[in-house]
Amino acid sequence: QRRSLGRLREVPAVTRDGCRIHLNANMELPAEIDATLAAGAEGVGLLRSEFLFMNRDDLPDEDEQVELMRPVVEAMDGRPVTVRTLDAGGDKLGSLVGGRISPNPALGLRAIRLSLAHVDLFEAQLAAILRVGAYGPVRILLPMIGTPEELVQARRIMDQVVRRLHRKRVPLPDPLPPLGVMIEVPGAALAADALAYHADFFAIGTNDLTQYTLAIDRSDDTVAHLYNPLHPAVLRLIQFSCEAAHRAGIPVSVCGEMAGDPRLTPLLLGLGFRELSMSSTNIPRVKHRIRQIGLHDAARRAMAIMSEWDAARIGALLDDYNAALA
């Protein structure tokens, strides 16, 4: 099994009926680049940028951020790297950003909210990502977007940063990197059609989308048994977001844990996803499953699953389908 998974690196992720599926890697640290390349990832679908800020007593300046991200972009050698701007709050950054700790960090001043409240920090990060785009294609991804207005504000700030860099004659990628949003807050999923009007791409973060939809703290063991991405409410939000992206003609991927679970691959393909991003260790198993799936069949099965309202029944239907594939 292990040897055959290894050989999968050489074969493309295509369904039985010949549709190409794009498999990208999620990364938290530049040190993961070797595993990303070894797994045959076609790009980095999610580079969590918190590593730039961790284990230090000061904020990294623009130049430092460029140098820390540059090895990842260079190693990907022309394949796109999707850099997500800071997805943390005062609980992680403490006194560096004014120190007040939200009573409930998951719902507090974090991610894009923190970036819009500390524009200097956000500008430095955007400038660094734009500059690292000189070494290979990058995309910019905003975490925890709740409203189109946040994206509009972020784009305005990015435009200002671009003008400043142009004035200083800093080489920038042409065209400029796409600016996309995480769909991981239920309100964003429900307003996905409005967001798709302003966004260049969507990345669906099923970890937080599940947490916020079901009101279950993903870090709390005492409620872990209630955390279920197959809850029909979560699936409907995912489906609606995917369809909104397709209607608007923008790329959409799934980058939460669901994307790396081969049991869920037939459902995600059946819902219309053609791009998934996952921890690189999961790429071979997901690719193996993709090569067993026929899209027509997957769409028909997904429709049946989406008409169910019981998560256990949904899981059973999915298991039946997977058993028929294997």
Choice between 205 and 270, CB closer to ligand PEP: 205
Smallest gap from Cβ 178 to Mg ion, in A, equals 19
- Concatenating the DSSP letter of every residue in 247-312 gives HHT--EEE-SGGGG-TTTHHHHHHHT--EEEEEGGGHHHHHHHHTT--HHHHHHHHHHHHT---HH
Smallest gap from Cβ 22 to Mg ion, in A, equals 21
Tell me, by CB under 5 A, how many residues bind Mg ion.
Answer: 3
Please list the residues that pair with 141 across neighbouring strands.
84, 180
242 is catalytic: no
Q: Which position has the token pair 């730039």?
A: 52
CB contact at 8 A, 27 and 45: no
Position among 32, 62, 208, 275 found at the interface with ligand PEP (CB under 6 A): 208
Q: What are phi and psi of 252, to 5 degrees?
A: -140, 140
Assigned token pair, 299: 């769409």
181-184: list long-range contacts, CB under 8 Å, 24+ apart: 181/141, 181/142, 181/145, 181/151, 182/84, 182/141, 182/142, 182/143, 182/144, 182/145, 182/208, 182/255, 183/145, 183/209, 183/237, 183/241, 184/143, 184/144, 184/208, 184/209, 184/212, 184/256
From CA 43, how far away is CA 277, in angstroms rounded?
Answer: 9
84 is in an annotated binding site: yes
Choice between 15 and 211, CB closer to Mg ion: 211
Site map (CB under 6 A) of ligand PEP, residues 52-81, x = contact: ------------------------------
Smallest gap from Cβ 284 to ligand PEP, in A, equals 20
Smallest gap from Cβ 207 to Mg ion, in A, equals 5
Half-sphere exposure of 274 (CA within 13 A, CB side): 11
Position among 205, 260, 270, 284 found at the interface with Mg ion (CB under 5 A): 205
Question: Is residue 207 at the binding interface for ligand PEP, with CB under 6 A as the rule?
Answer: yes
Smallest gap from Cβ 147 to Mg ion, in A, equals 17
100 is in an annotated binding site: no
Choice between 48 and 198, CB closer to ligand PEP: 48
C-alpha to C-alpha distances, 125 to 31, 111, 115, 280, nearest whole angstrom? 20, 13, 9, 25
Position among 32, 42, 150, 208 found at the interface with Mg ion (CB under 5 A): 208
The site partner of 255 among ligand PEP, Mg ion, none (C-beta below 5 to 8 Å per kind) is ligand PEP
Tell me, by CB under 6 A, how many residues bind ligand PEP.
Answer: 10
The site partner of 118 among Mg ion, ligand PEP, none (C-beta below 5 to 8 Å per kind) is none
CB contact at 8 A, 210 and 186: no
Question: Is residue 113 at the binding interface for ligand PEP, with CB under 6 A as the rule?
Answer: no
Inter-axis angle of helices 119-132 and 148-167, nearest 10: 60
Inter-axis angle of helices 311-325 and 295-306, nearest 10: 160
Site map (CB under 6 A) of ligand PEP, residues 179-198, x = contact: -----x--------------
Please list the residues that pair with 22 across neighbouring strands.
275
Given 86, 138, 252, 255, which residue is catalytic?
255
Choice between 133 and 256, CB closer to ligand PEP: 256
Question: Is residue 133 at the binding interface for ligand PEP, with CB under 6 A as the rule?
Answer: no
| Contact footprint for ligand PEP (CB under 6 A) | 46, 48, 87, 184, 205-208, 255-256
Known binding positions for Mg(2+): 184, 208
Site residues (vs Mg ion, CB under 5 A): 184, 205, 208
Residues annotated within a binding site for phosphoenolpyruvate:
48, 84, 207-208, 218
User: What are the catalytic residues?
Assistant: 255
Binding residues: 48, 84, 184, 207-208, 218
